[in-house]
Structure 1
Amino acid sequence: MSNLLMDPAFAPLAKEPRAVLRNANVAREALSAARLETRPLPSDYDLEITDYDVRLSEEEKAQIPVRIYRRKNVISALPVLLYFHGGGFFCGDLFSEESQCAHYALNAGCAVVCVAYRLAPEEPFPAALTDCYRVLEFLWSKSRDLNLDRDFLAVGGSSAGANLAAAVSLLARDRTGPKICFQMLLIPALDDRLETLSARQFTDVPDFGRSEAEVMWRWYLGEHAHNISPYAAPARAKDLSDLPTSYVLCAGLDPLRDEGLDYARRLTEAGVAVELHLVPSIPHGFASIPSAAISKRLLKEQVEVLRGVFSRKSEQF
């Protein structure tokens, strides 16, 4: 451990003895059980929630579940945040970060689209990225039908979801695909090599340490583990120019801290506008305790950042 001090609000994340991550289904069941203890969205939220199934391709019948959150009774086309949940590529669904998505939709002047992408290890890379990019194309092509403003199309996510947001941005640039105006990378998982100081140092931090990161990458990469694409691990991308304006949040007590800091630095050096926030006193899983003062402050900051990105639209609210 380093001499960095953790905010005591996150002490409940520490588990002794530390659980060994061996089975993805066990981890998913634990996540579902934990979610039962949280409050569902209030029924009086001023939100319209719509579910869609997006076909993976014209040739395939497979579908990608999508949920769209937006304020009720908004007539004009809304900016949109395409949001990818975290969960180490092996956990998470449309509901795992529901309160966060709802908060963005209520307060940031945008619609929020959450994607239930395929999960590892059953469906390793590139399955999740394929799903996420397909939903980006869907939103771009169906924006008029969905009453969304594709000129204000942002991507974002947390942890593994931030990896997917960064990878989708790289793919859209390289394929000359849909134009993304902004990427919000929260505690991003970007580098499978785990060679940074923080990746070597943080082995016994609460909730998510080096051992969990090793399992995450092993399950996500699968048979691709010896030929790593930059679309799987965006830190491997040699060219970060012409990517969207970015917000990067790093947690000080996180094995992924330094790869996020390095990615922000490289984006800046490539001429990309970047806002970087490093919070030294929080672990990777800080958002799982939303009642903590720092969690509330960071969520408020994210809303303010999004409102700034969508400012020309948000003036209508």
Structure 2
Amino acid sequence: MSNLSMDPAFAPLAKQPRVVLRDPNVAREALSAARLGTRALSESDLEIKDYDVLSSDEERVQIPVRIYRRKNAVGSLPVLLYFHGGGFFCGDLFSEESQCVHYALNAQCAVVCVAYRLAPEEPFPAALTDCYRTLEFLWSESRDLNLDRDLIAVGGSSAGANLAAAVALLARDRMGPKICFQMLLIPALDDRLETMSARQFTDVPDFGRSEAEVMWRWYLGEHAHDISPYAAPARAKDLSHLPTSYVLCAGLDPLRDEGLDYARHLTEAGVAVELHLVPSIPHGFASIPSAAISKRLLKEQVEVLRGAFSSKSEQL
């Protein structure tokens, strides 16, 4: 048993009886219903533009992309390419809109959100293909988009953090667009689920081991074998020459230890890493944005992004 206690602000995340994931469409409908009647922050200070990015000449898939920036922003902006969470099977351009708006208004950057293809209908590598293609689009079209391609960061939450880490690995290995920073929030990185936290946290609120097992099965496919490190970045043997990183781990999260391990392996590979472990929060803490800890962590993420862009800009 763990002696960790959960911040009472996150008690609403506990569901009894626990919902069993069987149908991704049911989960998607629940997410949409929870969002009804809500809106992010006021858009009066924002410029929002939508694009359809062509995935490839072979697939001809249109990837919906949304770019947020301040209306009064001057010059080419640093950019955060942000991938939403949702277990690889949920989420869209709007599911983490509040965070994207907050980053755009406060971190002095443009924020790009991607509606990548979802599992299990489109298992790995569909989502990663969409995310990496969007990175290429931002790089090649940076002048027209008024973005600074020397200051591109990737980030995401949970499954989105997996995709951010995988995009950084792909960009390095393909000698593709340069990424200056990666922000990995409560990352899902290891399909093996062999860590202590993965074994321990089976009945924590919102997201426990059983949900993680379904997430990976849907993302990788029912009969997956020889799992690629681009699907599960914890399997990567070489983490050298990756961008400076920020890793946030939740103490009451089955994914906690794989995030901690990834941060350690990055450090051992010579990558500069800032690691933040918050012991009293569950995986889905950000869905209670009114909680004091959620507000503090969102403020910290803004400061981390501003610092990363500022530091890199000084080196150029």
Equivalent residues of 1:124, 1:221 under 8 A apart: yes
Amino acid at match of 2:245: S
Q: Distance in 2 between matches of 1:17 and 1:223?
A: 26
Give how far 1:94 is off.
0.1
Q: Distance in 1 between matches of 2:148 and 2:223?
A: 36
Give how far 1:176 is off.
0.4
Q: Distance in 1 between matches of 2:69 and 2:29?
A: 29
How is 1:297-308 mapped onto 2 (pairs within 5 angstroms)? Answer: 297-308=296-307
Amino acid at match of 1:8: P
Q: Distance in 2 between matches of 1:146 and 1:283?
A: 37
Equivalent residues of 2:78, 2:151 under 8 A apart: yes
Amino acid at match of 1:200: R
Q: Distance in 2 between matches of 1:102 and 1:19?
A: 30
* CA deviation profile, 1:228-262 (whole Å, cap 9, x unmatched): 00000000000000000000000000000000000
* CA deviation profile, 1:170-229 (whole Å, cap 9, x unmatched): 000000000000000000000000000000000000000000000000000005621200
Structure 1 residues 23 and 223: alpha-carbon distance in aligned structure 2, compared to 1, 3 A threshold: closer
How is 1:4-83 mapped onto 2 (pairs within 5 angstroms)? Answer: 4-44=4-44, 46-83=45-82
Give the structure 1 partner of residue 238 of structure 2. 239
Give the structure 2 partner of residue 268 of structure 1. 267
Amino acid at match of 2:305: L
TM-score by length of 1: 0.97
Give how far 1:60 is off.
3.9
In structure 1, list runs of 5 or more residues that go unmatched: none
1:193 paired with 2:192, answer: yes
Give the structure 2 partner of residue 279 of structure 1. 278
Aligned partner of residue 157 in structure 1, secondary structure: strand
* CA deviation profile, 1:120-174 (whole Å, cap 9, x unmatched): 0000000000000000000000000100000000000000000000000000000
Structure 1 residues 145 and 313: alpha-carbon distance in aligned structure 2, compared to 1, 3 A threshold: farther
Q: Distance in 1 between matches of 2:140 and 2:39?
A: 35
How is 1:101-120 mapped onto 2 (pairs within 5 angstroms)? Answer: 101-120=100-119
Give the structure 2 partner of residue 167 of structure 1. 166
Percent of pairs with identical residues = 89
Give the structure 1 partner of residue 258 of structure 2. 259
Equivalent residues of 2:180, 2:312 under 8 A apart: no
Equivalenced residues, count: 314
Q: Distance in 2 between matches of 1:260 and 1:300?
A: 21
Aligned partner of residue 310 in structure 1, secondary structure: helix
Give how far 1:24 is off.
0.1
* CA deviation profile, 1:255-293 (whole Å, cap 9, x unmatched): 000000000000000000000000000000000000000
Give the structure 2 partner of residue 137 of structure 1. 136
Give the structure 2 partner of residue 148 of structure 1. 147
Structure 1 residues 43 and 236: alpha-carbon distance in aligned structure 2, compared to 1, 3 A threshold: closer
Q: Distance in 2 between matches of 1:103 and 1:40?
A: 9
TM-score by length of 2: 0.97
Give how far 1:314 is off.
8.9
Q: Distance in 2 between matches of 1:311 and 1:38?
A: 33
The Cα RMSD (Å) is 1.3
Structure 1 residues 110 and 92: alpha-carbon distance in aligned structure 2, compared to 1, 3 A threshold: same
Structure 1 residues 183 and 264: alpha-carbon distance in aligned structure 2, compared to 1, 3 A threshold: same
Q: Distance in 2 between matches of 1:40 and 1:300?
A: 16
Q: Distance in 1 between matches of 2:195 and 2:40?
A: 38
Aligned partner of residue 221 in structure 2, secondary structure: helix
Structure 1 residues 312 and 93: alpha-carbon distance in aligned structure 2, compared to 1, 3 A threshold: same
Structure 1 residues 310 and 250: alpha-carbon distance in aligned structure 2, compared to 1, 3 A threshold: same
Amino acid at match of 2:60: K
Q: Distance in 1 between matches of 2:63 and 2:127?
A: 10
Q: Distance in 2 between matches of 1:152 and 1:262?
A: 27
Q: Distance in 2 between matches of 1:21 and 1:310?
A: 39
Q: Distance in 1 between matches of 2:78 and 2:117?
A: 26
Equivalent residues of 2:47, 2:70 under 8 A apart: yes
Amino acid at match of 1:31: L
* CA deviation profile, 1:15-68 (whole Å, cap 9, x unmatched): 000011000000000000001143343243x10000000001134432100000
Which region of structure 1 is more displaced relative to structure 2, 51-60 or 243-252? 51-60
Amino acid at match of 1:11: A
Aligned partner of residue 246 in structure 1, secondary structure: strand
Equivalent residues of 1:82, 1:114 under 8 A apart: yes
In structure 2, list runs of 5 or more residues that go unmatched: none
